[in-house]
Amino acid sequence: MALKRTKEEALETRQAILQSALDLFYQKGYSKTTFEQIALRIGLTKGAVYWYFKNKPDLVVALINEYVEKKKKYLEQKVPFLKHFKDIEAYFLATTDFILSDENALKLAFFLSLQMEWSETIITKVLEEISQNTANSFEHVRKALSEMQKKGDIRADIDVQMLTSILFNTWCGHLEAYLSKKCPIDLKIMVQKSFDLFFNGLMRKD
């Protein structure tokens, strides 16, 4: 029992460090957040934080991995299959819902989109992780669109690889506009309207 409790406490401490780091990254940005501040916020020593994470890029990677796992479970429940246009649209709308309904997901999206200072060291460590996670989502959607094209639901002249890139970039653009408050938009409505326009133009013309 003591060993189990020790493991539970270690997991709780790790989670507290991640939460403290995310809150500070969100409030102050990456470069202005220190391990000392992260530790002080939750009553730990700086050394205790270093015990769990070697550096700030490791913290960011851990936050991204946590976000990806939570989002994956959410999407598997909300949109288990991608077989039709409406499924693809639902996939991006569900991703939008997840970010808007989860405070930590929204904080992380804001931080990575608008507050992260991308140095070469950070890029090497963090962007590799982001790229891998993005690639998994990208391939999931690309395969679904490819199958739809084989069935004749999408015009044969459409480049599915390019289409998938456009869909993801469009969604990311809407999210960044929403986070930056550059223009007053209802994020879900913008995503839905954009995807409706896309898919109306993709349908096979008889």
Does 1.10.357.10 match the CATH number of domain 56-202? yes
Share of the chain above pLDDT 90, in %: 66
Q: Is the pTM of this model over 0.95?
A: no
Res. 185: pLDDT tops 80: no
Q: What is the mean pLDDT of the chain?
A: 88
Q: Number of helices and strands (H, E) in the chain?
A: 10, 0
Q: What is the CATH number of domain 1-53?
A: 1.10.10.60
Task: Report the pLDDT averaged over residues 165-188.
Answer: 89
Res. 84: pLDDT tops 50: yes
48-68 pLDDT per residue, tens: 999 999 999 899 999 999 999
Half-sphere exposure of 69 (CA within 13 A, CB side): 6
Place of tokens 């599915």: 160
Pairs from 45-53 (Cβ < 8 Å, separation ≥ 24): 48/13, 49/17, 52/13, 52/14, 52/17, 53/17
Across-strand partners of 154? Answer: 203
DSSP H or E run through 170 = helix 160-180
The ranges of the chain annotated as CATH 1.10.357.10 are 56-202
